[in-house]
Amino acid sequence: MSSVAVLTQESFNEHRSGLLPEKAKAAVAGTSGAEDEDSLPTYKDAFPPLPEKPLPEGVQETGNAWTTKIRPLKSSVITQVFHVPLEERKYKDMNQFGEGDQAKVCLDIMHKTGAHLELSMAKDQGLSIMVSGKHDAVMKARKEIVSRLQTQASATVAIPKEHHRFVIGKSGEKLQELELKTATKIQIPRPEDPSNLIKISGTKEGLEKAKHEILLISAEQDKRAVERMNIEKVYHPFITGAYNKVVGELMQETGARINVPPPSVNKTEIVITGEKEQVALAIAKIKKIYEEKKKNATTIAVEVKKSQHKYVIGPKGNTLQEILDRTGVSVEIPPLDSSSETVILRGEPDRLGQALTEVYAKANSYTVSSVSAPSWLHRFIIGKKGQNLAKITQQMPKVHIEFTEGEDKITLEGPTKDVQIVQGQIEAIVTDLISRMDYTEISVDPKFHRHLIGKGGANINRIKELHKVSVRIPPDNEKSNLIRIEGDPQGVQEAKKELLELASRMENERTKDMIIEQRFHRAIIGQKGEKVKEIRDKFPEVIINFPDPAQKSDIVQLRGPRTEVEKCTKFMQKMVAEMVENSFSVSVPIFKQFHKNIIGKGGANIKKVRSYFLDFQVHPFSVCLLTGSCDPED
């Protein structure tokens, strides 16, 4: 991840007046000799800004947000812009797979840190993130962005065990500051652990910065000789060499430790640590390389389209390293946020021609093409969980395939030959899909959408499975009435017919509340629901809902097609009228002590009476005495 600038309102005004156009170039610099050979620079690693020209004595330096470390007030709001290269993005192909997850992560980061995030897609498919807020909030958000939106790598750096405490600092403050500054996670062995290896995890750029800072802290504590050399940043690549070969050989020959700032760190200072003789020898060798290159190296400037710069850089800066290794020429490319298209080649005059040829070859080795494909077919081209696309990308991993929502085309980018092959494959898939696929759209009032979907998606899943189609019902927040059906032409038409019938039925559906005294509910339902089942069989399209007895409600709800609900209502009204007519009751006052005689053993007497008079009911808990009083307890 690359931090473009830290700006306050005051520093922004200074920045506008103090930034010189010629200083916006970036030099390709090798990484520290202490790093692994396979650790290659990212896009921004390869192009740090050129160092500022020294000012005459007595002249105060103009504030510059690119080179001056601005110390914002804690109360002020600052803005930082970070860039996540395509190869380091955790969520790729956002339109298909990662957009939801990425948005959730960003919202969570804003909630946790209090910073404001704005995301945008760069031309190279990298992710640009603008973070605004107080300084502490921005730094915390930056660390969260690195850990959650970028792919992570790890590395180790060895320093003497006794130097570990200086990396940690008082109460761990130095370590926390270092982690925030580099957006990495740094693990230092416990005191009882004999290991001198410090583990670092984060992005490649963060690893380089953290290793550099840790080695500087260690160098400051080293009792041996420590020397610092200020060498122009543009000559660092010749000192480190391609893949750090030169600096590695220097350390092996001299026995000194040489720490060269990584390309992402805008510093010119090279730190050499070791015994006095070792340091002196290393300084002499570095000076020799520097003076030879300064004397003999020349530069040429060429124009290369901005869109082709990334092809010259290569994945993680690998192409730049290849050119440096084969030709000994350093290639300097403008930073991503610069509009300049000028590429500078620096090296021996007789090697510049070869390097220039390679630069143009790399720039033109990639192409951008497009395939016409209706946007509704994109999901079928991609396949379930990206299966179809995965088959193509596994064979041609260097080709980037981009689907843009709402556009009837697919964009391909990569090596020219590979793009041609992938284009042919996708065109064949599109032709096949168009010949056997169809789609249609139907209009249904959004209030019925959830009923079409059914409980747990039961209705819509049944239709999809039965007709082998894909049905897209818009979410509630879209407030759209268009339902899209895609799939086999016959299946599309059958699904359309069924969905329209369901929708029509729902549009004609009516809900009616009937007022029926609760005392009649049991009689209407019948024993084990037999009577209400007869009603439902008679009116199968009507749903009859009785209230829970505990609610003591008289409302019985009927729902279904308008005409059927009306018929069912009349039928039930007639049934209730008959019940009212046949439900005459009389209370017979009987002394409480005689109740058991009337009921009989096991209810034998009362059952006998009921067998003669089916509608006769006895309520043993509501008894009227001869005195005329009525007490449930009597």
CATH of the domain at 564: 3.30.1370.10
CB within 8 Å of 138: residues ≥ 6 apart: 78, 79, 80, 113, 115, 131, 132
Shared-domain flag, residues 514 and 500:
no
pLDDT means per 10 residues in the chain (634 residues)? 39 40 36 40 46 42 38 58 72 52 84 86 71 85 80 84 89 90 89 90 84 87 83 94 94 93 86 90 95 94 89 86 94 86 94 94 87 88 82 85 84 89 93 89 88 87 89 85 90 92 83 90 89 91 89 90 90 89 76 84 82 52 38 42
Which helix (H) or strand (E) is 489 found in, with range?
helix 489-507
pLDDT of amino acid 123? 59
Shared-domain flag, residues 253 and 129:
yes
Shared-domain flag, residues 21 and 124:
yes
User: How many independent structural domains does the chain possess?
Assistant: 5
Backbone angles phi, psi at 193, to 5 degrees: -80, 125
Q: What is the 3-state secondary structure (H, E, C) of 165-198?
A: HHHHCHHHHHHHHHHHHHCCEEECCCCCCCCCEE
Contact 521, 546 (CB under 8 A): yes
Shared-domain flag, residues 549 and 621:
no
Is residue 595 in a domain?
yes
Shared-domain flag, residues 565 and 485:
no
Is residue 325 in a domain?
no
pLDDT of amino acid 614? 54
Contact 48, 264 (CB under 8 A): yes
CA of 311: how far to CAs of 175, 264, 356, 398, 561, in Å?
37, 19, 14, 11, 66
**Spatial distance between the Cα atoms of 194 and 434, rounded to a whole number of angstroms:** 67
Backbone angles phi, psi at 100, to 5 degrees: -60, -50
Which helix (H) or strand (E) is 533 found in, with range?
helix 530-538
Shared-domain flag, residues 500 and 397:
no
Is residue 242 in a domain?
yes
Is residue 503 in a domain?
yes
Contact 508, 556 (CB under 8 A): no
Shared-domain flag, residues 517 and 500:
no
pLDDT of amino acid 516? 92
Domain-ending residue, one of 478, 507, 536: 507
State if pTM tops 0.75. no
Shared-domain flag, residues 117 and 260:
yes
Domain-ending residue, one of 436, 462, 488: 436
- Which residue(s) pair with 128 in the sheet? 83, 120
Tell me the residue type at 325. D
Shared-domain flag, residues 62 and 143:
yes
Contact 231, 270 (CB under 8 A): yes
Shared-domain flag, residues 447 and 522:
no
Is residue 308 in a domain?
no
Shared-domain flag, residues 86 and 204:
yes
pLDDT of amino acid 376? 84
**Spatial distance between the Cα atoms of 12 and 272, rounded to a whole number of angstroms:** 36
Domain-ending residue, one of 267, 300, 333: 300
Shared-domain flag, residues 380 and 476:
no
Which domain range does residue 475 map to?
439-507
Closest listed residue to residue 543, CA positions, set 522, 573, 514: 514
Closest listed residue to residue 1, CA positions, set 79, 66, 71, 81: 81
